[in-house]
Amino acid sequence: MAEHELPTGFRYLPAYLDRPAQEALVEEVRAVVAAAPLYVPQMPKTGRPMSVRMTNCGSLGWVTDREGGYRYQETHPLTGQPWPAIPAALLRIWEEVYGYPKPPQACLVNFYDGEAKMGLHQDRDERDFEAPVVSVSLGDQCLFRIGGTVRGAQTRSFRLSSGDVVVLGGESRLSFHGVDRIFPGTSTLLRNGGRINLTLRRVDP
Ligand code: MD3
Ligand code: FE
């Protein structure tokens, strides 16, 4: 990645979803959360709680706790039940933005309240790095940061707004990224505020 540039394969699609589509997707997420409640993930080894609350839909879900660390599994860690299905509207976005030949297996649902953030990290618990990660933002804006594929490389920051889609393919698939802060009160989509991020992922090659 050249300095001042974003890694190749990174695509930012602002306002990909209009307001009615965002509202419909929020209803789908509410149904997912009703079946698979949001929970507080723990960092491996330390057990330190993350500030984001999480759940999943799809045949696999990404989970983390003190004992087991980062992993994908077929069931919700608290209910023991299979994750609910990925909503059709999300499967359509996955097909539209990249055309990957296989469907996503996991959709991680991250909920950020006004104080939540996510430190700079790579997503490398999947076995298929050819598949992109596709992110959909709903609700309050956030300050998103993306860097290179080695920690310490220059990073760039920008705001993600409700309805924005980000596609992380190619080189960007293994880039460091995180969420530095939420901007409370910047969206009317969610009655009680906050931000939802949905990331579609393929785990198996
Ligand atoms: C760049 N989520 O769930 S979405 C995550 O807004 C995660 O909740 C953030 O990082 C959020 O792992 C960022 C945008 C995103 C997602 C996955 C990526 C950017 C990425 C994977 C590789 C590189
Ligand atoms: Fe990530």
Inform me whether the pLDDT recorded for 2 exceeds 80. no
pTM (whole model) above 0.95: yes
Among all bound ligands, the one having the nearest atom to the CA of 175 is: 1
| Percent of the chain scoring above 90 in pLDDT | 96
What pairing do the DSSP bridges indicate for beta strands 53-58 and 106-112?
Answer: antiparallel
Which of 111, 128, 133 is the pocket-test mutation for ligand 1 (most atoms within 8 Å of CB)?
A: 133
Cα–Cα distance, 58 to 56 (Å, whole number): 7
Contacts 24+ apart (CB under 8 A), 14-22: 14/161, 14/163, 14/164, 15/161, 15/163, 15/164, 16/93, 16/97, 16/136, 16/163, 16/164, 16/165, 17/136, 17/163, 17/165, 18/163, 19/163, 19/189, 21/89, 21/163, 22/138, 22/162, 22/163, 22/189
Which residue puts its alpha carbon closest to atom 14 of ligand 1?
Answer: 135
Contact 121, 180 (CB under 8 A): no
**Ligand 1 binding residues, C-beta < 6 A:** 108, 110, 118, 123, 133, 135, 146, 166, 168, 172-173, 175, 177, 179, 197, 199
Which residue puts its alpha carbon closest to atom 16 of ligand 1?
Answer: 135
Q: Is 59 exposed, middle or buried (0-12, 13-18, 19+ CB in 10 A)?
A: middle
Give mean pLDDT, residues 17-25.
98
Inform me whether the pLDDT recorded for 75 exceeds 70. yes
199 Cα: distance to centroid of ligand 2 (angstroms): 8
Domains by residue range for the chain, with CATH: 3-147+165-170+186-201 (2.60.120.590)
189 Cα: distance to centroid of ligand 1 (angstroms): 21
**pLDDT tens sequence across 110-127:** 999 999 999 999 999 999
Among all bound ligands, the one having the nearest atom to the CA of 178 is: 1
Inform me whether the pLDDT recorded for 6 exceeds 90. no
